Amino acid sequence: MKNAICILILVLGLSSCKYSKVILTEDQVPENIFYLPEDMHPYTGQCLIYYSGTKNIKEQLTFKKGILNGTTASYFPNGDIKIRGEFRDGKLYGKWESWYEGGRKKYEVNYVNDTLNGSYVQWYSTGVMKEQGLYAENMRHGAWVEYDEAGMILRKLNFE
């Protein structure tokens, strides 16, 4: 899931950074440290990426010394929030949330230094809870409950 979030945030069409007025293509997306073209210093600041041909924000990224650091958000073309979370020193950190188009919550998950740790909750697109449980060091841990689309318990699982 971490890789999917990073790829979504960094590769989904990076096209312009409002703060610095730089235009980038997907081929120019940095793999490690973000530098502005013709600049010797790693970039610090906010980068806004727009959907092509619109004024709608697609991604909002924050960099510190060229590394993702701070709040990051991704939006649907209609402007609704899609994903929101935080990076610390280039690593996923804290609560990450995702929504379905239309505004219903899709999942909430917690990271510590790029590692799933803490509560995990996922919902169906109807708003009914799909599953909930805990992660410890990227592994399911303790009691997990899975629900059907009507909200009835399908099964209870226990992970050690």
**Within-domain flag for 30:** yes
Residue 125 lies in a domain: no
Q: What percent of the chain has pLDDT over 70?
A: 80
Specify the pLDDT at position 54: 81
Whether residue 158 is contained in a domain is answered as no
Residue 66: inside a domain:
yes
Mean pLDDT of 5-34: 48
Q: Could you tell me if residue 146 is inside a domain?
A: no
157: pLDDT strictly greater than 50: yes
106: tokens are: 């899709």
User: pLDDT tens across 80-101, in order?
Assistant: 999 999 999 999 999 999 999 9
Considering the domain boundaries, does residue 156 fall inside one? no
Contact, 58 vs 12, CB < 8 A? yes
Inform me whether the pLDDT recorded for 29 exceeds 60. no
- List the structure tokens of 100: 């379905």
- pLDDT exceeds cutoff 70 at 114: yes
At 119-154, the pLDDT tens digits run 999 999 999 999 999 999 999 999 999 999 999 999
> Residue 21: CB partners within 8 Å, gap ≥ 6?
none
Residue 137: inside a domain: no
- Distance separating alpha carbons of residues 61 and 57, to the nearest angstrom: 11
The closest of 41, 84, 83 to 64, measured between CA atoms, is 41
As given in the structure block, the two tokens for residue 8 are 């979504």
Q: How far is the C-alpha of 3 from the C-alpha of 24, rounded, in Å?
A: 22
Under a CB-based contact definition with an 8 Å cutoff, are residues 35 and 45 in contact?
A: no
Residue 95: which domain range?
A: 2-113
Structural domain contains residue 38:
yes
Q: How many domains does the chain have?
A: 1
